[in-house]
Amino acid sequence: MGIITQNLTQDLVKELFEYNGTNLTKKIKGRRKRVVAGSLRDGYRLIQINGRKYYASRLVWLWHYGEEPDGLIDHINHRRDDNSIDNLRVVDASANAKNRTRHPKQQIHPGVFWYEKTGKWHVSIGHKGRQIHLGYFKDLDQALSMRLCAESHYDYHTNHGGLNA
């Protein structure tokens, strides 16, 4: 599956699709009602053009700005099929990881977990490929406060750890 939009131009994308504010829709002669282009795979919308599959978010970026995104596309609100331009930003892998969705079974917050051996909350954070230990806390509120402070310090996105809406 290709994520590179090589050989695609803004003109071609605009010729094939309209943008409804959330997704690209197919232009079909004689039809007033538009159909959302592509199909969902792992929550992401994929669109096939000339036998190659492209992430809809990258095509939306090209549709709006006339150039390929120079990096990864991050869906700010964690909804992979929401390709509204205000929900998309270009980031590197590190910044993308700092806006990760919390798994629904994870009860507290990323980087905060109960450590049986000490009987305290363990707090850590990832930064530049390494794990930084932030401490052990008897009080959950203190542990969460430490983690949120560290997230701010290390430029994590404000949505980091939020549940997928």
What are 18-24's contacts with CB under 8 Å, separation 24+?
A: 19/60, 19/63, 19/64, 21/84, 22/82, 22/83, 22/84, 23/56, 23/60, 23/81, 23/83, 24/56, 24/59, 24/60, 24/63, 24/83
Q: Are residues 21 and 81 in the same domain?
A: yes
- Predicted pLDDT of residue 165: 40
Residue 117: domain span: 101-153
111 in the same domain as 87: no
Same domain? For 42 and 87 the reply is: yes
Sequence-separated contacts (24+) of 140-144 with Cβ below 8 Å: 140/108, 140/112, 143/112, 144/108, 144/109, 144/112
One domain, residues 52 and 117: no
Domain presence at residue 56: yes
Q: Are residues 28 and 86 in the same domain?
A: yes
Please, which residues bridge with residue 74 across strands? 89
Report the pLDDT value the prediction gives residue 2, as an integer from 0 to 100: 41
**pTM confidence score:** 0.62
| 74 and 106 part of one domain | no
Domain CATH code at residue 129: 3.30.730
Identify the pLDDT of residue 159. 64
CATH of the domain at 35: 3.90.75.20
pLDDT in tens, the chain (165 residues): 444 445 789 999 999 999 999 899 998 877 777 789 999 998 999 999 988 999 999 999 999 999 999 999 999 888 889 999 999 999 988 777 767 665 554 556 778 888 888 888 999 888 888 889 999 999 889 998 998 889 888 887 766 555 444
In a domain, 2, yes or no: no
pLDDT given at position 112: 86
